[in-house]
Amino acid sequence: MSTYLIRRLWQMIPTMLGVILLVFLLFNWVAGDPAYILAGKMSNPEQIANIRKQLGIDEPIFVQLWIFIKQILTFDFGTSWSTGEPVSRILATRLGPSLTLLIPLTILETTIAIALALAVARLRGSLTDRTVMIVCTIGMSISILVYIIVFQYGLAHKLGLFPVQGWGEGFSENLFRYAALPILILLAVSLAPNLRLFRTFMLDEVNQDYVRTARAKGLSESRILWVHVLRNAGIPIVTHVMSNLPALLIGAFLVERFFSIPGIGREIILAVERSDFPVIKAITVYVAFATMLFNLLADWLYQVIDPRVKLR
């Protein structure tokens, strides 16, 4: 196990170097000269030359790349072009609100989707099964904007069950007061596709020979589903959940924007609107790194779920 982890960590180095090189080329060749963005419309050649010198973009291309690598290694991307706030502080302060949303959401949506998928798999082919699939298809066809507007207007504005917008200082206040409605919305959006996908995983296992053998031994249907089927279907479920975690971090930007939650998703949208390249580059690189770490964690969880899985 330790040998496998060390080898995977070594393999992450060239992958990260490729990501760094790609991000560097995109922002330095495709995005244009940042000196003109910072200088604004009322600028002169001396101001532009001074900004280029401060940013180091008047240096040779290899020197600029080395500066970018040092920024990543030291977690220091300088300051935001729009607010003047250190990028490292922006990431540190914005990560907490996003995780306050996404950790409870991931736990709830995975647990509920697994339980419902097992129940539907047990009733496969029945009227209940078909009805649930129709409801899921309808739910997947509705835009997240519709969920946000309806829930925010109905539950927050009309009924007053939740605050319409805002974010507090304490963790408990944020989790149970301000994040409750956004979590409920994201749960409503993600439950239908997860249920359909997990149901497919369960049905793939229900038809296997070991399930028929377990039934022949007289095991109850509940034990077969919750112990044997769930363990074997757990590997693709873990793969799906882990691969979606980095995307969730960025993908919650609509909810964060509508509910004024100061998270990573809202920050990346603001950075794009303001052409705030240091913030965009930092988030892009660290999300790529988080994706590789979650993939490594998924490989480890495979063996936890099923000891028969050998990591080589």
Instruction: State the pLDDT confidence band at 293, using cuts at 50, 70 and 90.
Output: confident
Q: Give, in degrees to the nearest 5, the angle at Cα 18 between 242 and 286.
A: 45
Instruction: State the pLDDT confidence band at 32, using cuts at 50, 70 and 90.
Output: low
Spans of all domains in the chain? 2-74, 97-262
The pLDDT value recorded for residue 180 is 92
The pLDDT value recorded for residue 218 is 84
Q: CATH number of 97-262: 1.10.3720.10, 3.40.50.2300, 3.40.50.170, 3.40.50.300? A: 1.10.3720.10
Tell me the per-residue pLDDT of 188-204, one tens digit each, with 9 for 90 and over: 988 999 999 999 888 88
pTM for the whole thing? 0.81
pLDDT above 70 for 34 = no
Mean pLDDT of 259-287: 85
Tell me the per-residue pLDDT of 73-121, one tens digit each, with 9 for 90 and over: 888 888 887 787 888 888 888 888 888 988 999 999 999 999 999 888 8
For every residue of the chain, DSSP letters joined together read -HHHHHHHHHHHHHHHHHHHHHHHHIIIIIS--HHHHHH-SS--HHHHHHHHHHHTTTS-HHHHHHHHHHHHHHT---B-TTT--BHHHHHHHHHHHHHHHHHHHHHHHHHHHHHHHHHHHHTTTSHHHHHHHHHHHHHHHS-HHHHHHHHIIIIIIIS-SS-SS---SSHHHIIIIISHHHHHHHHHHHHHHHHHHHHHHHHHHHTSHHHHHHHHTT--HHHIIIIIIHHHHHHHHHHHHHHHHHHHHHHTHHHHHHTT--SHHHHHHHHHHHT-HHHHHHHHHHHHHHHHHHHHHHHHHHHHH-TT----
The pLDDT value recorded for residue 40 is 62
Please name the amino acid found at residue 156: A
Q: Which of 14-28, 49-63, 269-283 has the lowest mean pLDDT?
A: 49-63
